[in-house]
Amino acid sequence: MARTALWAPAHRVMQRMPIGSGGGPANAAPSLDMAGVGIQDSRLLWNSANSSTGAQVVGWYMSGPHPVIDQVPSALTTTAIAAAQVPTAGVALTLVSSTGAGITVMSSALLALPSLNTIAAGTLAIDSVPTYISFGASDFTVFYNAGTAVARNIQVRSVGDDSGATFTVVGYDLYGYPMTETITGSSGAPGTATGKKAFKFVTSVTPAGTLSGSNVSIGQGDTFGMPIFLGSTTGLMGFWNNLIITGAGTATAGVTTTPSATTGDVRGTYLVGSASDASKRLQVYQHPSVSSMQSLGINVGLFGKTQA
């Protein structure tokens, strides 16, 4: 590959417009650089039409640390995804059918970026459906919206002893990639089993194994998924309820082994130090890890391994 050397400083500027022509071109937008400044998500092919998405390029806005989550999560609840019911092994639980309690039942399909997977209408989105901020009249520069980026772990609430059972959650992550997690049930009385992965969308929860025959319900937890790969638990910056999260709560680095239905999240998570109540704001800022990009490859070092 040819190299081009420039005398510093190198400035990237908008093309000069003819005198008297007014403002800039309709497609003027912030710039994205691969692995720096505004982080380009190269999982979406660029320099191509992408006419089905309206996105020529997609990424996280601003120079680092990048604001990747800025949202007030809904209150913690054990019934947001599935109300209390007696489960049957091998039969998917009945999920909620209307929006409420921190769950949005999607009224229309979403073409998720950068996966280009279509999330069907009727799917449950945790807290909110992700949205995108776009610039330009035709060849859009698109940014992920930190205000709709909350993804959370799953909780299984058992009245009886379901420690001999498992509950397999199927859904998608923030970027629309399919993911699965198998959660071992709690001993009950009652008790709550908590998942390790951060889901943005849930399509089904199916029990298996030895069930107590008592009610179970499904809710969202207070462990939040990281949009950018967290290579070190000391690399997390941000605020929870206006308090600095460094040294508070519990950060978990992204999985670097081969992911499975029982391993942790591929990008890492953060468990907040106090329960969400629909008033506390979570703000997360992330720096890409140069060492992770060097050791794992740029895409994996930025966004984690392929979901399982």
Rounded to an integer, the average pLDDT of 118-144 is 89
pLDDT band at 1 (very low <50, low <70, confident <90, very high): very low
Enumerate long-range contacts of 23-32, CB under 8 Å, 24 or more apart. 26/136, 26/137, 26/138, 27/135, 27/136, 27/137, 27/138, 27/139, 27/141, 28/135, 28/136, 29/135, 29/136, 29/140, 29/141, 30/61, 30/135, 30/141, 30/143, 32/57, 32/59, 32/141
Q: 196-229, pLDDT tens digit by residue?
A: 999 999 999 999 999 999 999 999 999 999 999 9
pLDDT at 295: 93
Give yes or no for residue 297 having a pLDDT over 50: yes
pLDDT band at 247 (very low <50, low <70, confident <90, very high): confident
Give yes or no for residue 10 having a pLDDT over 80: no
Rounded to an integer, the average pLDDT of 133-142 is 76
Q: 62-114, pLDDT tens digit by residue?
A: 877 889 999 999 999 999 999 999 999 999 999 999 999 899 999 999 999 99
Give yes or no for residue 8 having a pLDDT over 90: no
pLDDT at 46: 67
Separation of alpha carbons 288 and 195, rounded Å: 25
Rounded to an integer, the average pLDDT of 244-259 is 93
pLDDT at 158: 97
Backbone φ/ψ region at 87: left (φ over 0), alpha (ψ -120 to 50), beta: beta
Identify the residue whose tokens are 């908008």.
Answer: 14
Task: Work out the widest C-alpha separation in the chain, in whole angstroms.
Answer: 78
Spell out the residues 6+ positions from residue 194 whose beta carbon is closer than 8 angstroms to its own: 153, 154, 155, 156, 183, 221, 223
Give yes or no for residue 29 having a pLDDT over 90: no
Rounded to an integer, the average pLDDT of 182-187 is 97
Mean pLDDT computed over every residue of the chain: 90
Please name every residue paired with 66 in a beta bridge, in sequence order, or none if there are none: 286
